[in-house]
Amino acid sequence: MTEYKIVDPTTNALVRRYPTSDDATVDRAIAAAAEEFAEWRRRPIKERADAVLAVSREFEHRRADLAAIITREMGKTTREALAEVDLSAAIFAYYAEHGPDFAADQRLDIRGGDDVVVRCEPLGALLGVMPWNYPYYQVARFAAPNLVLGNTVILKHAPSCPESAQAIEDIMRAAGLPAGAYVNVYASNEQVARAIADPRVQGVSLTGSERAGRAVGEVAGRHLKKYVLELGGSDPFIVLPDADLQAAVSAAVEGRMGNAGQACTASKRFIVVAPLYDRFLDAFTAAVRGLTIGDPTDDGVSFGPLSSEEAARTVIAQVRDALEKGATAVAGGSRPARGGAFVEPTVLTGVTPAMRAYREEIFGPVAVVHRVPDTATAIRLANDTPYGLGSVVFGRDIAAAKAVGDALDVGMVSINGPSGTQEDLPFGGVKLSGVGRELGSYGMNEFVNRKVIRVRGRAG
């Protein structure tokens, strides 16, 4: 059975258990969201946008408390936790400001001269299934555009994030949203499947693992429900021979080790063209060795523990598999001699297709560095993955760097800078990295009925 609880990964101590919702509670949540939809959709979009702006201000007002919650739940450093709260507030504010324009009627000029508009209408109650690595941000990018559009939200968060899940619902109430507009449930996987199948639920958005995405997509497809899946990534970071070495190394450390490496868009495979390989590896390894791990509330700590003991064991198993099959750990490679779900910042070389680390997503502070003879080989290696989320290309010749980016089978390319996210930048991938897009204007293009209204013959 799904168990909702807080286990502080810094110490692996149990903080608090939360009761899993029973079937009746989940049913009431679905009923509340479905019933409220009839009222919420009829409110003027400006009124809905104002409510979402109030959500943004509540995030700002509760900034320190919200950050402390996710540090306790999943080990995020205080610095990164505060940044996540700020980004979440920015997302709600962005859709409050721009959402009404994104949803405005679009007039079409069609053959024959009839008066035609395409109207954006909400679909209904939506289910969100969210992960633990960014407890506020992931929810914000799903909930904000849909609340402005007029959909209602049932939110099932990760079992390790019950306190942040409740905090978000509390914010919604404090901001003045009606109870059915946003409902938090501590649901089990079985209850999620039944909710997707429920005719009162019109769509589902999941951010999580490939395994979870397959399960949700299968149920949604069987019941002809709209779905968005934001899944894993094994993002390449390509260093071309003319790259600015210092800038590339700095971006590599930031892109791989941020959030203790627990990001789907983290750069995970560093593919360096031979002329720069030795210098890059030496500088990158030295920078990684200089990182400090420890209590995430300490200002001087680079990153804290992984989200859980299970997560730490999974990452170390992937590293050991590589080492046993001939790879080399030029930095790290084990767990420090202390309690908690910590993993040393690690750099692996000599990784081959026979190793788990070659194709699997490593969700932790482990970088795999490959040496390739030329740019064509770098592109082939970058695309030799079932994932296709983000990527980074470093090179002073911008046209050449862009050409490499054009050849990558990914949803996002960053030239001369680490992958990042912001409220007005579309987010999403291809292949096993998911289906659909979020953020920017695209965030309001998924769970929407684009109704065509045609008036035959223009009124005289």
Q: Domain limits of the chain?
A: 4-231+429-455, 235-415
What is the reported pLDDT for 459? 53
Check if 230 is active-site. Answer: yes
Cα gap 218→213, rounded to integer Å: 8
Give every residue of the chain whose pLDDT is below 70, as ranges: 1, 458-460
What is the reported pLDDT for 52? 98
Question: Which residue bears the tokens 């080399």?
Answer: 328
Over the stretch 97-133, which tens digit does the pLDDT of each residue have?
999 999 999 999 999 989 999 999 999 999 999 999 9
Check if 120 is active-site. Answer: no
Radius of gyration of the chain (CA): 23
What is the reported pLDDT for 460? 43
Cα gap 150→457, rounded to integer Å: 31
| SS3 (DSSP) at 230 | strand
Residue type, 297: T
Question: Residue 13, exposed/middle/buried by CB under 10 A (0-12, 13-18, 19+)?
Answer: exposed
Cα gap 15→6, rounded to integer Å: 5
Report the topology of domain 4-231+429-455. Aldehyde Dehydrogenase; Chain A, domain 1 (3.40.605)
- List Cα–Cα distances, 436 to 139, 204, 229, 386, in angstroms: 16, 12, 6, 17
Cα gap 362→35, rounded to integer Å: 42
Over the stretch 270-327, which tens digit does the pLDDT of each residue have?
999 999 999 999 999 999 999 999 999 999 999 999 999 999 999 999 999 999 999 9
Question: What is the length of the chain?
Answer: 460
Largest distance between two CA atoms of the chain: 83
Cα gap 441→443, rounded to integer Å: 5
Residue type, 268: K
Single pTM value for the model: 0.97
**CATH architecture, range 235-415:** 3-Layer(aba) Sandwich (3.40)
| SS3 (DSSP) at 67 | helix
Catalytic residue, from 58, 80, 230, 438: name it: 230
Residue type, 271: I
| SS3 (DSSP) at 239 | strand
Catalytic residue, from 80, 264, 361, 438: name it: 264
What is the reported pLDDT for 458? 63
C-alpha 262 chain-centroid distance: 10
Query: Does this chain's domain 4-231+429-455 share its CATH topology with 235-415?
Result: no
The pairs formed by 293-299 with CB atoms below 8 angstroms and a separation of 24 or more are 293/336, 293/342, 293/344, 293/345, 295/10, 296/10, 296/71, 296/75, 296/76, 296/77, 296/78, 296/81, 297/71, 297/77, 297/78, 299/78, 299/79
